[in-house]
Chains A and B, each alone.
Chain A
Amino acid sequence: MTRVWSASRLTYLALGLSALLSIFPIYWMFVVASRTSDAMGQVPPPLTPGGNLGANIARLFDNTDAYFLTGLINSTIVAVTVTVSVVFFATLAGFAFAKLRFRGRNALLLVIVATMMVPTQLGVIPLYLLMTKLNWNDRLPAVIVPALVTGFGVFMMRQYAGQAVSTELIEAARMDGCNTARIYWNVVLPALRPAAAVLGLLTFMTTWNDFLWPYAVLNDPENPTVQLSLRALSDGYYQDMSQVFTGTAIATLPLLLVFVLFGRQIIGGIMEGAVKA
């Protein structure tokens, strides 16, 4: 039996090639980011890092079209705020759906599952009109507030709370006079911590990456997210590719860092979610 499941040399070769295809564009981004802009015209293309990264970074931050530093700061503010909020509201609602009894629970849960299937991206036009009314256009609340909750998060926390939080523990806490809020804080939240961390990581990465909605609503070039700074760089009339690539590398770096540190948990979260869905 083990023979059937064992990995041959061919398996490793195929996996190695796949890994190479996966990693190469990212690697090459850093190669070009560390060279002078001559690198683009060279034949054969250069495949090793150069020594120009520092100078490229300096030019990038001096670029008066991209507002790259503002973009980085804005993206950090947006991603951190949204992550904290999504995790908080998702654990709260997930706990309620998994462990509390109330009228209409199943119907409301169904609504949440349905929201995951709805392409809300198609509502950008009224959302834009709404932001104009609230006077949030070109300002960060416009990208933060609509992202504060996700149906995916609530559903994920509900599935996890169902198995990770013991009902006996909740009953015992109630006997001791805990109200529901304290049960959430002292019993449920600690038990949910592993899944909440995965949700937080996924939310941070999605928010950092978000492009379409910021593109629609943040039209002031002086107040971009980092993805919009990249757009400004790449749309420039005079394209200095090593500078553009330095921008893409820096915009990708936080995501790679998170992935290297927590890759195991992220993979676990994706795979567990798949089995349950």
Chain B
Amino acid sequence: MAVQLDARPPVAPAPRHSRPVRGARLSRFDTKYSPYLYIAPFFLLFGVFGAYPLAYTFWVSLHDWDLLGAEHPFIGLDNYSQLLADPDFWHSVVNTLGIFVISTVPQLLAALWLANLLNRQLRARTTWRMAVLVPNVTSTAAVAIVFAVLFGREFGMINWLLDHVGVSAIDWKANRFAAWVAISTMVDWRWTGYNALIFLAAMQAIPRDLYESASIDGAGRARQFWSITVPLLKPTIIFAVIISTIGGLQLFTEPRMFNSGTNAIRGGPLRESQTVTMYMFENAFAPHYNFGYGSAIAWLLFALIAVVAAINVLLLRRLGGGSRKEVSR
């Protein structure tokens, strides 16, 4: 930095004037401290509206804290022990995990397959990419309403189609597993194309001579896909799984809007499709406004996300472990 300052053309030959000195000092101050000024807005705003609430959630969770009570006494871990014995909480955990598994696994496989299709010499390349991405840019709440109608019991199009292949009408909202399937369909519809484009980007970074030598060795297209493409995509797949875990376990808008009317936040009269985030909402906001209990749910969900993400990464590492050695990069 100092070198740069010295290299400035000597504008004022007589340094007796105070201006250039002040200018130089200002400029030194500028190079040294202005970077902090530029990053400060992020840290200030994120600190107040992102980090502080998250940490403070833990503090609230240690109190008996509701909207009406004038005082909120410290009760230690009582909210947590109450929660661990709360069957409705565990019900929502099972719902969340169930929806997560039956949405994520087919979604990532379909995305891989779709990326493999898009990774060929196609006419109208951008149009195809846009066509698979368009679900991702639609309004989540709007689409959830549309899907709720498509999955209607009496007049829904899905049941109408199923009727043609001899499946009798399914009550998608009243049957717990059926509700999981319907909500997973929504999630997959929105995210498969997005993940396909992420995988496609990673596929295009794989050097083609790997495939050339493999095909000389007699490996067919399927073999090449599983022995070259998938192992080399592993970092991207792990990334996609982590993102899906963080998003999927917090699922809220789709199940909330899949249900309508008075029981919507409960995910139906018997909590058929209530996720953990919905259960947090039911307790923390209308009708109960029990902030302490809701905060405890938030922290347990946080822990759940961390655990599931860690398990997923470990599983994926192990799965790909053997095949990696076959391909020497």
Contacts and interface: CB of A to CB of B under 8 A. Distances in A.
Interface of A: 1-2, 4-7, 11, 14-15, 18-19, 21-23, 25-26, 28-29, 32, 40-41, 43-45, 89-90, 92-93, 95-97, 100-102, 105, 108, 111-112, 115, 117-130, 145-146, 148-149, 151, 154, 171, 174-175, 177, 179-181, 184, 205, 208-209, 211-212, 215-216, 219, 227, 230-231, 234-235, 237, 239, 241, 244-245, 247-249, 251-252, 255-256, 258-259, 263-264, 266-267, 270-272, 274-275, 277
Contacts of B312: none
Interface residues of B, number: 103
Contact of A125 (B117, B135, B294): B294
Interface string B53-64: 110110010000
B120 A7 contact: yes
A256 B138 contact: yes
A209 B136 CA distance: 11
B4 A174 contact: yes
What is the predominant secondary structure among interface residues of chain B facing chain A?
A: helix
Contacts of B140: 209, 211, 227
Contacts of A259: 130, 133-134, 137
B139 A125 contact: no
Contacts of A239: 260
Interface string B272-316: 000001001100111000010011001101100100000000000
17 contacts: A7-B120, A7-B121, A22-B131, A26-B134, A40-B155, A102-B36, A122-B280, A125-B295, A126-B54, A146-B49, A146-B50, A211-B253, A227-B139, A230-B139, A241-B149, A245-B149, A263-B129
Given A41-B155, A121-B250, A175-B8, A208 B34 contact: no
Contact of B239 (A96, A129, A277): A277
B191 to A, nearest CB: 12
Contacts of A120: 50, 53-54
Contacts of A171: 4
Contact of B284 (A18, A95, A124): A124
Contacts of B198: 270-271, 274
A231 B141 contact: yes
A212 B294 CA distance: 15
A76 to B, nearest CB: 14
Given A19-B128, A45-B157, A149 B121 contact: no
Contacts of B89: none
B236 interface: yes
B179 interface: no
B146 A96 contact: no
B42 A122 contact: no
Given A123-B50, A234-B148, A263-B129, 5 more contacts: A122-B57, A126-B60, A130-B53, A180-B35, A209-B140
Contact of A96 (B30, B35, B132, B253): B35
A205 B137 contact: yes
B27 interface: yes
Nearest to B284: A125
A151 to B, nearest CB: 7
Contacts of A237: 261
B68 to A, nearest CB: 13
B160 interface: yes
The 8 closest A-B pairs by CB, nearest first: A123-B53, A248-B142, A146-B49, A19-B131, A271-B201, A126-B56, A126-B53, A96-B38
Contact of B57 (A101, A123, A154): A123
Scoring B53, B122, B194, B252 by chain A CB atoms within 10 A of each residue's CB, the highest score goes to: B53
B54 A2 contact: no
Contact of A248 (B60, B133, B146): B146
Contact of A23 (B1, B114, B134, B194): B134
Contact of B201 (A111, A209, A275): A275
A249 B60 CA distance: 40
Interface in B234-264: 236, 239, 242, 246, 250, 252-253, 256-257, 260-261, 264
A242 B200 CA distance: 38
Contacts of B48: 130
B118 interface: yes
B2 interface: no
A274 B195 CA distance: 10
B42 A89 contact: yes
B201 A274 contact: yes
B150 interface: yes
Scoring A25, A154, A180, A230 by chain B CB atoms within 10 A of each residue's CB, the highest score goes to: A25
Given A125-B291, A270-B197, A180 B30 contact: yes
Nearest to B114: A18
B126 A267 contact: yes
Given A5-B120, A248-B139, A25 B60 contact: no
Contact of A93 (B41, B122, B285): B41
Given A15-B117, A129-B291, A180 B34 contact: yes
A127 B49 contact: yes
